[in-house]
């Protein structure tokens, strides 16, 4: 019988998502190409940690959102896929925003990055609201 991994706590999931979101916004909201996204999702779909709800059992993130961001990386050790941009990237391709800059308005970034980032931000907000509802927070 396969042993199911222990799921991260709600607090850990929110922290992980907040950390990933902050880095994504800080780097200018760089989105993966369709090929990069599909490559990551193929790896996740064959991973024993992916749940039926498409969440990673290690970090708790919703992978159809997380895998679309160039700044994110697999939660496993060793990593099954890597960040393409930012401080965790093995071979960074672009660093769109000065890494020292902390005065970025997420709304501006989403406007620059276009509709796909806005769509992902919407999914992200819905997931955060679901988490808040589950934990009884408004």
Question: In the complex, which residues of this chain contact ligand SF4 (CB under 6 A)?
Answer: 43-44, 47, 49-50, 56, 58, 63, 74-76, 80
Residue 24 Cβ, how far from ligand SF4 at the closest point, in Å? Answer: 15
DSSP code per residue over 42-103:
HHHHTSTTB-TTSBBTTT--BHHHHTTBTT---SSSS-SS--SSSTT-SS-----S-TT---
Nearer to ligand SF4, 89 or 104 (CB): 89
Residues 6+ apart with CB under 8 A from 112: 28, 29
Structure tokens at 106: 């997420």
Residue 34 Cβ, how far from ligand SF4 at the closest point, in Å? Answer: 18
Nearer to ligand SF4, 13 or 110 (CB): 13
Count Cβ atoms below 10 Å from residue 59 Cβ, excluding itself. Answer: 22
Nearer to ligand SF4, 76 or 95 (CB): 76
Question: What phi-psi label fits residue 16: left (phi over 0), alpha (psi between -120 and 50 degrees) or beta?
Answer: alpha
Nearer to ligand SF4, 29 or 81 (CB): 81
Residue 107 Cβ, how far from ligand SF4 at the closest point, in Å? Answer: 28
Residue 83 Cβ, how far from ligand SF4 at the closest point, in Å? Answer: 12
């Amino acid at each position: 019988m396969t042993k199911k991994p222990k799921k991260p706590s709600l607090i850990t999931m929110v922290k992980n998502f907040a950390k990933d979101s902050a880095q994504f916004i800080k780097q200018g909201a760089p989105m993966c190409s369709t090929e990069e996204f599909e490559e990551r999702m193929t790896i996740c779909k064959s991973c024993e940690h992916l749940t039926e709800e498409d969440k990673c059992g290690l970090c708790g993130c919703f992978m159809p959102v997380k895998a679309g961001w160039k700044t994110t990386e697999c939660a496993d050790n060793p990593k099954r896929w890597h960040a393409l941009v930012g401080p965790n990237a093995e071979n960074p391709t672009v660093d769109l925003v000065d890494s020292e800059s902390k005065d970025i308005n997420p709304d501006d970034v989403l406007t620059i990055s276009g509709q796909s980032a806005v769509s992902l931000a919407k999914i992200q907000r819905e997931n955060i609201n679901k988490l808040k509802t589950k934990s009884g927070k408004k």
